[in-house]
Structure 1
Amino acid sequence: MDTMAAIRQTFFQECEEQLAELESGLLAIERQESDSETINAVFRAVHSIKGGAGAFGLDELVRFAHTFETTLDLMRSNALEITGNLVKLMLRSADGLADLVRFSRDGTDLDRARIAQLHAELTSAASGDAAPTIEAAPAPAAADESNGPDENGFTPIRFSLEDLVATELDTPMEETTRGPLVVSFRPKPELYAKANDALVLLREVRRLGDVSISCDISEVPLLTELDPEGAYLSWKVELDPAIEENAVREVFEFVTFDCDLDISVKAAFSSQDTEAADFQVIPVADIATMLAESPAPAETAPITPPQPEREMTPTETLIKAGTAQAAPQSAQQTTIRVDLDRVDRLIDLVGELVINQSMLAQRVTEAGIARLSEVAVGLDDLEHLTREIQDSVMAIRAQPVRPIFQRMSRVVREVADMTGKSVRLVTEGENCEVDKTVIERLADPLTHMIRNAIDHGLEKPEDRLAAGKSEQGLVRMTAAHRSGRVIIEVSDDGAGINRARVRQIAVDKSLIDPNAQLSDGEIDDLIFAPGFSTASTISDVSGRGVGMDVVKRSIQALGGRISISSRPGHGTTFTLSLPLTLAVLDGMVVTVAGQTLVVPLTAIVETLQPKEQDVHGLGETSRVVAIRGSFIPLIDIGLQLGYREEEADPFNSVAIMVESENRTQSALLVDGIIGQQQVVIKSLETNYGHVFGVAAATILGDGRVAVILDVDAIVAGTRSEMNRSDNRKRSAA
């Protein structure tokens, strides 16, 4: 049972890959950037899902995939014209197929009415939109294609050679005159590379009834030239006339693309014909013995040693000798599947290695050992090696954002249908890699942002036409690496943010004071306030005010930040800045009021020593520092975090200039800088709770625990306090 569960899990993992390829291919077809190979790849993806589902008895998935596959086959054979409506149907069917896969895997809720409707539309497209003609007749049918209904009751729209001849002569063919089936089966190396066994397939054919099997060994090279990963044997099988062709094709269904397979009807078949074709006829008794004793598929397929009580056949002897002595001629690039828990454990161990390396370096420094000594030089080498190991381990978890971008295509289609808008999604930078944990936790925030962009950002088609825009709205998603972080942007070409309306709603909901003076950026940020919504009515898409505030909290929980930029009449852009990994970061270790803190290095612009003539007061308690003609807010970290009650002397302190989420700059006032260090992130919320201004914690080289500052939260809290102070002053006046 454990083995079957593992195989089943592997099947569903491969389904996710096939679904991603299916979605990618259909989107390329929609953009008219496809060729015949794209359609073939789409067909193979559905075919692979269907084949695996059949092995596990997933009947609903098999039935839907079969009809989907039939329609795709008509498309690739040019028997069905590819139109915009047909491609949309294919995309919706891909969504339905994904739902069926997840239902089969997790037992989640399934909208069977929707699946039935898609199934009916696919059947109608296959039978009504276009009919196959003799000129457009496809190549020989794939492994599960036939002229009659299969076990699920579906009849593919296809004409075989016999049907065409019968139609021309107006004389139906009689089933009783059909001769025996002859199967020519030649495996490709790919068949064995996927842990399939030709003898197992032949054993399954033998179970159908009386058969005659012969093996061709004429292409087997000399032992010194034999490639153990090659495929040199082929078989010819003659079957009893009573055996149906459908049953034979089902045997080879899983290996259709990994072998040369031909099934034909022959009036007569004799041993003389076989000998004339340079076949070595192996006695049926030997074939039966080989089939009966062939090993079951396993993770590895070692050569089974010969049974002592039976003399090996010439074919078995040749395979045994060649595999035992020949060496692989070329290395083949492979991938492996590893349990994510094992990778996480490895990352934790590397994190501990980083901590211990820092501790060792700290002890050496405290011991007063010279930096040029052999011990110090060895420690430097250990530090470089540790960093390389950490980077390599992080790369194991790194994955491209393509899967989540492709998932958003479905969200766009569904929301566009619900709102009655025409929307086109454009994605860029799909190969940009980020930590797997970040990708998994990005799904919900991006879904909210896409729904918000379509429902609130894009105008209705008639309004877009009146504004001189295209009737079809555009939503763009981009991803890129920038300054050690991942930047994801979600933009639309809609009407932009109506700031007057946003401000009025915020006032009506008592989110801001009516007299508050807010900049455009601060008004835009009101969208992230809890309970804020500009929707006039509650619908299935939006209107409950539980969207963008959730987005901001989710992004901040990832150690990221989000900002908005909007131009009225031109659209809105949401920018997400995320860390590449949630495990380690490079930080600046500083001291504040006797406490040791870490400031993320990616947020730091520069450090400076404030001069007396550059520091100015602002209001009752605020201060700014003049830097190159600009006034930057000066934030006392010790005062903000409650480490001290009196303001620090800025002239005996160090100012660290940082850039916050809306790209505004502030200066953090600290007592001193210890140095730059790579630290391992330990979640504080998971083990303790949320603390203002603290993003996480870490363990320093001396064993002490230090907190990692949440720069954006500190800056935002300071600005809010300044606004509240200004409002109190205006109210008092």
Structure 2
Amino acid sequence: MSIDIEQFHAVFFDESQEHLDDMEQLLMELDVEDPDLEQLNSIFRAAHSIKGGSGIFGFDALTGLTHVMENLLDKARKQTISLSVPTVDLFLETVDLLKTILDAYKTESDLPTSEIESGVAALEKALAEADGQAAPSEGVAQDEAQTESASADDDIDGFGFFDDEPEAATEAQPAPTEAASKNDDIDGFGFFDDEPAPPATAEEKAGYGFFKPLEAVNEDAKAAQEDAAKAAEKAKAKAAKTKKPAAKQAEASSIRVDTLKIDAMVNLVGELVITQSMLSMIGDEVSGAVGQKLQTAIVELQRNTREIQESAMSMRMLPVNMTFNRFPRVVRDLSSKLGKQVDLIIEGGNTEIDKSMIEKLVDPLTHLVRNSIDHGVEKPDVRKASGKLEKGTVILRAAQRGSSIVISIIDDGAGLSRERILAKATENGLPVSPDMPDSEVWLLIFQPGFSTAAEVTDVSGRGVGMDVVRRNIEAIGGRIEIESTKGYGSAFHIHLPLTLAIVDGICAAVGNQTFVIPLVNIIESLQPLPEQLKLIGNENLLWIREQYWPLIAIHEMMHVDDAIDNPTEGIVVLLESSKRRFAIQVDALLGQQQVVIKSLEQHYRKVPGISGATIMGDGRVAMILDADAIADLCRPVYEEEKAS
């Protein structure tokens, strides 16, 4: 019987990626001054697993590189070499290279041969240097390893019971006190010394205090207690740092399922929701005892459908930590490169988000974090001169607010410069005004080719990126806000829907059509008074909250007949997008509803101002409005606001 081994490739790629992510995270947490043996063992095991799997599948480039890396890790975990920052950097660079090789095998593209050769050469050079320094310190390292665990030392034979030299045997025995165990000159515990030391001498501790004055014995006992207390605290700290086996064991109870299968199930659940809505409408038309029974059954069906929907959606949800965990490395490398001291704080990493958005968030977040370090956080001497701590702080935070997720990138750096941004915007020919509110000024940095950097570096300064950041965020139904105070720092807030498959919205009637307005974009709704409306040129404006809002008539934009033309007779909904605030005019609000999004572009074509469609309970199709696309139809009203 022949086995098609390629069917296991996907599992190997997924597991190897997890191993590499774990290795990177553990290396970032490693304390080079006092490395945790369990962390080193975990890193070694991950490398060993990748080597074993790659060997089975014939991925020779992975096998060769991990083999050399494994040898160096083995020396580190056995404490025959001392770790240093350059060594950890080398391990991190090797992890990056392993990711590149893994991706090459996964996509069946060309291997980076020259990079692999350089990586192997760097590891072999480190191994040669390690072998050179291991010889004089090997005995010391073995002694330290024995105190941790005798089974971990490969050089112990017979556990010291059959050593040829009695001295070695006595050294291997446990010492009654720490003070005595530190003395290399103790032979036979002092009972058979040819010339017993004077009992009052503090430097020589022969006899374990039998011939010492009582005061000296008490001092030794007190010192031993203090050392024991410190050792206990240190062991407790190490134990707290390495409580990860339980999490790994929990992961073992899960199974791997193709995302296409989950998407198919979510789609079927969406159809079930639509069917349930149809039955609810039919039930309203049935009266009498039968109608009452039908309503009871429909309510039960509605409850079960909601639970099935939530269960199906939860399968798509993953903790945002899957994205956040890569940023400690980004911050470490970039701050070191720029000569800055930056502390990254991650908050709300357990907040869950739709899997389809996890990978799409990586590029925007990476660019914003890099910008915070490059443009935001100042160098240590500048921060010290301005009365700040030399080490800057970048906070990466995720939190759920209602039906949306808010991801924030906050720094305590120099903040955005309003003057420089306005000057650059004027230079680029953008329509600006000195009276623009800060919130509108900050959004100018998202214009293509916009940069206020004093110099161009390989990190930033070319004006490429922030416009792409906004475009990528809008592509997954999100929007971005900026807060900044000069001299105190900046905050970028990304608002995202919980999922791309289902949206909470308000159904609005426009003529004989129904439109769904995403709840995440709605500020409030009202029926305007005549004095709140103003016409300037061809632009309709609404005066509310001490400012003018562009007013868009949905029936005109969507060419709907039989709609209410006068805004005072209909309803105005205030919306907020990533670009600006504006108002839309509809006939009436029909109520809040959770709807399943269907791609209009896939089944029909792209319609301006529409992000998708859904099927209502009566079987009719309702369009879902795209707030960001509608915002493009609005023009700034700074001149009108100033004139008022």
Matches within 5 A, 1:658-677: 658-661=575-578, 667-677=583-593
Say which is worse superposed, 54-63 or 643-652, in terms of deviation: 643-652
2:124 is equivalent to residue 115 of structure 1: no
**In structure 2, C-alpha distance between the alignment counterparts of 1:104 and 1:366, rounded to whole Å:** 61
| Letter of the 1:442 counterpart | L
Matches within 5 A, 1:453-532: 453-510=372-429, 512-513=430-431, 515=433, 517-532=435-450
How far did residue 106 of structure 1 move?
3.0
SS at match of 2:458: coil
| Letter of the 1:112 counterpart | I
**In structure 2, C-alpha distance between the alignment counterparts of 1:726 and 1:644, rounded to whole Å:** 31
2:294 is equivalent to residue 375 of structure 1: yes
2:578 is equivalent to residue 656 of structure 1: no
Aligned partner of 1:132 among 123, 129, 138:
138
**In structure 2, C-alpha distance between the alignment counterparts of 1:431 and 1:559, rounded to whole Å:** 21
SS at match of 2:13: helix
SS at match of 1:373: helix
**In structure 1, C-alpha distance between the alignment counterparts of 2:410 and 2:129, rounded to whole Å:** 35
Aligned twin of 2:468: 550
Aligned partner of 2:266 among 341, 347, 367:
347
How far did residue 624 of structure 1 move?
3.1
Aligned twin of 1:63: 64
| Letter of the 1:132 counterpart | E
Aligned twin of 2:551: 635
How far did residue 619 of structure 1 move?
4.9
| Letter of the 1:695 counterpart | S
2:633 is equivalent to residue 714 of structure 1: no
How far did residue 561 of structure 1 move?
0.7
**In structure 1, C-alpha distance between the alignment counterparts of 2:83 and 2:301, rounded to whole Å:** 60
SS at match of 1:385: helix
Q: Quickly say closer, same or farther: Cα 1:635–1:342, change in 2 above 3 A.
A: same
Aligned partner of 2:359 among 440, 444, 458:
440
Q: In proportion to residue count, which structure has more helix?
A: 2
User: Which runs of 5 or more residues in structure 2 are unaligned?
Assistant: 166-244
Q: Quickly say closer, same or farther: Cα 1:570–1:717, change in 2 above 3 A.
A: farther
**Equivalent residues of 2:601, 2:612 under 8 A apart:** yes
**In structure 1, C-alpha distance between the alignment counterparts of 2:494 and 2:292, rounded to whole Å:** 46
Q: Quickly say closer, same or farther: Cα 1:584–1:69, change in 2 above 3 A.
A: same
SS at match of 2:301: helix
2:639 is equivalent to residue 705 of structure 1: no
**In structure 2, C-alpha distance between the alignment counterparts of 1:364 and 1:71, rounded to whole Å:** 71
How far did residue 564 of structure 1 move?
1.1
SS at match of 1:535: coil
**In structure 1, C-alpha distance between the alignment counterparts of 2:516 and 2:19, rounded to whole Å:** 44
Q: Quickly say closer, same or farther: Cα 1:424–1:370, change in 2 above 3 A.
A: farther
How far did residue 600 of structure 1 move?
1.5
**In structure 1, C-alpha distance between the alignment counterparts of 2:611 and 2:261, rounded to whole Å:** 26
**In structure 2, C-alpha distance between the alignment counterparts of 1:668 and 1:67, rounded to whole Å:** 64
Deviations 1:127-149 (A, max 9, x none): 3565432313576888xx9xxxx
Matches within 5 A, 1:256-335: 334-335=253-254
Aligned twin of 2:484: 566
SS at match of 1:336: coil
Aligned partner of 1:588 among 485, 506, 511:
506
Q: Quickly say closer, same or farther: Cα 1:74–1:332, change in 2 above 3 A.
A: closer
Matches within 5 A, 1:44-443: 44-108=45-109, 110=112, 111-112=115-116, 115-116=119-120, 118-120=122-124, 122-123=126-127, 126-127=130-131, 131-133=137-139, 134-137=142-145, 159=155, 161=157, 334-365=253-284, 373-416=292-335, 418-443=337-362
| Letter of the 2:322 counterpart | P
How far did residue 556 of structure 1 move?
0.8
Aligned twin of 2:17: 16
How far did residue 595 of structure 1 move?
2.4
Deviations 1:314-364 (A, max 9, x none): xxxxxxxxxxxxxxxxx9972211122111111111112122222333344
Aligned twin of 2:238: none
How far did residue 530 of structure 1 move?
1.5
Query: If the length of structure 1 is used for normalisation, what is the TM-score?
Result: 0.66
**Equivalent residues of 2:341, 2:391 under 8 A apart:** yes
SS at match of 1:135: helix
Q: Quickly say closer, same or farther: Cα 1:560–1:382, change in 2 above 3 A.
A: same
Q: Quickly say closer, same or farther: Cα 1:634–1:539, change in 2 above 3 A.
A: closer
**Equivalent residues of 2:335, 2:373 under 8 A apart:** yes
SS at match of 1:136: helix
| TM-align CA RMSD | 3.9
Query: If the length of structure 2 is used for normalisation, what is the TM-score?
Result: 0.75
**Equivalent residues of 2:68, 2:120 under 8 A apart:** no
**Equivalent residues of 2:28, 2:329 under 8 A apart:** no
Q: Quickly say closer, same or farther: Cα 1:117–1:494, change in 2 above 3 A.
A: farther
**In structure 2, C-alpha distance between the alignment counterparts of 1:70 and 1:160, rounded to whole Å:** 20
SS at match of 1:441: helix
**In structure 2, C-alpha distance between the alignment counterparts of 1:723 and 1:380, rounded to whole Å:** 51
SS at match of 1:411: helix
Q: Quickly say closer, same or farther: Cα 1:77–1:116, change in 2 above 3 A.
A: closer
Number of equivalenced pairs: 549
How far did residue 487 of structure 1 move?
1.2
**In structure 2, C-alpha distance between the alignment counterparts of 1:30 and 1:580, rounded to whole Å:** 37
**In structure 2, C-alpha distance between the alignment counterparts of 1:490 and 1:538, rounded to whole Å:** 23
Identity, % of aligned positions: 39
SS at match of 1:381: helix
How far did residue 557 of structure 1 move?
1.0
**In structure 1, C-alpha distance between the alignment counterparts of 2:385 and 2:69, rounded to whole Å:** 40
Deviations 1:33-78 (A, max 9, x none): 9854333322322222222222223333233323333333344334
**Equivalent residues of 1:455, 1:541 under 8 A apart:** yes
| Letter of the 1:376 counterpart | Q
**Equivalent residues of 1:30, 1:84 under 8 A apart:** no
Q: Quickly say closer, same or farther: Cα 1:571–1:114, change in 2 above 3 A.
A: farther
**In structure 1, C-alpha distance between the alignment counterparts of 2:607 and 2:578, rounded to whole Å:** 19
SS at match of 2:573: strand
**Equivalent residues of 1:587, 1:600 under 8 A apart:** yes
SS at match of 1:442: helix
Aligned twin of 2:226: none
Aligned twin of 1:679: 595
Aligned twin of 2:189: none
Aligned twin of 1:291: none
How far did residue 380 of structure 1 move?
2.2
| Letter of the 2:591 counterpart | G
| Letter of the 2:599 counterpart | S
**Equivalent residues of 2:548, 2:637 under 8 A apart:** no
Q: Quickly say closer, same or farther: Cα 1:341–1:513, change in 2 above 3 A.
A: closer
